[in-house]
Amino acid sequence: MKYNLVIVDDHKMFLDGVLSILNTKKEYHVLLTTTNGEQLLKYLKINSEERIDLVITDISMPKLNGIALNKILKAQKRNIKSLVVSMHNDAEMIDELIADDVDGYVHKNAEKHELLLAIQSILKGEKYFSKEIKDVFLENKFYKKQQEEIKLTQREIDVITLIAQEFTTQEIADKLHLSKHTIESYRKNLIAKLNVRNLAGLTKHALKMKYIAE
């Protein structure tokens, strides 16, 4: 059986590289190569009866990124498998892709044999995530579990949010109608409670917990 594959990537060198790898395997037929997700969706609309077994896509692309493309593909319920091959190893991106039922994620630094293993595994109905991606996912899951166990009071959230927004101790004291000494105590307690080293650590926590937008 021949499998119909599509490659979506706006880096021509990478696209050509994957194409040359797949062309060495007689069981794979590359049906389409395109530089963005919108072009693929147009193709799917026009060729609604075409069988596509696997879409290999990057994340960062013009017009429609790989995360949005995967979400749309899965919503269409055409049983199209999806494999993300990207330089990104951002935990939130990985979380979102997994929540949207992506079938695999391989880092762009992966060796040729791992890419082929990922494709083979996915086409057999399995999920495939490279070790680097799994490590990021599990580390983030562990971090979130830890943070859920740490309960901040509303006042502590107010203080950490203002710290992350780069207000000075005096400015925070004025905004919250507290003394400068009290804010300093909150800051020290937050550093200890969250097990971070400094104000940068508090800011990082505030971003992760979405107290402020990036």
pLDDT tens readout for residues 79-90: 999 999 999 988
Q: Which residues, including other chains, have CB under 8 Å from residue 73's CB and lie 6 or more apart? A: 55, 80, 82
pLDDT value at position 127?
97
Cα–Cα distance for residue pair 62/53, rounded to 1 Å: 24
CATH 3.40.50.2300 range(s) for the chain read 3-142
Cα–Cα distance for residue pair 152/76, rounded to 1 Å: 41
- Weakly modelled stretches of the chain, pLDDT under 50: none
Cα–Cα distance for residue pair 84/133, rounded to 1 Å: 11
pTM confidence score: 0.71
Fold of 150-208: Arc Repressor Mutant, subunit A (1.10.10)
CATH superfamily entry for domain 3-142: Response regulator (3.40.50.2300)
pLDDT value at position 55?
97
pLDDT value at position 59?
94
pLDDT value at position 151?
84
DSSP 80: -
Cβ neighbourhood burial of 139 (10 Å; 0-12, 13-18, 19+): exposed
pLDDT value at position 63?
86
Cα atoms found within 13 Å of the Cα of residue 187, Cβ hemisphere only: 22
- For 192-202, the pLDDT digits (tens) are 888 889 999 89
CATH 1.10.10.10 range(s) for the chain read 150-208
Residue found under tokens 């979400």: 71
Cβ neighbourhood burial of 193 (10 Å; 0-12, 13-18, 19+): middle
Instruction: Order the strands of the 3-8 sheet from edge to edge.
Output: 28-34, 3-8, 54-57, 81-86, 104-107, 128-129
State the SS3 of 8-43.
ECCCHHHHHHHHHHHCCCCCEEEEEEECCHHHHHHH
Number of other CB atoms surrounding residue 7 within 10 Å:
25
Residue found under tokens 């072009």: 39
Cα–Cα distance for residue pair 192/61, rounded to 1 Å: 41
Torsion-angle region of 166 (φ positive above 0: left; ψ -120 to 50: alpha; else: beta): left
pLDDT value at position 214?
67
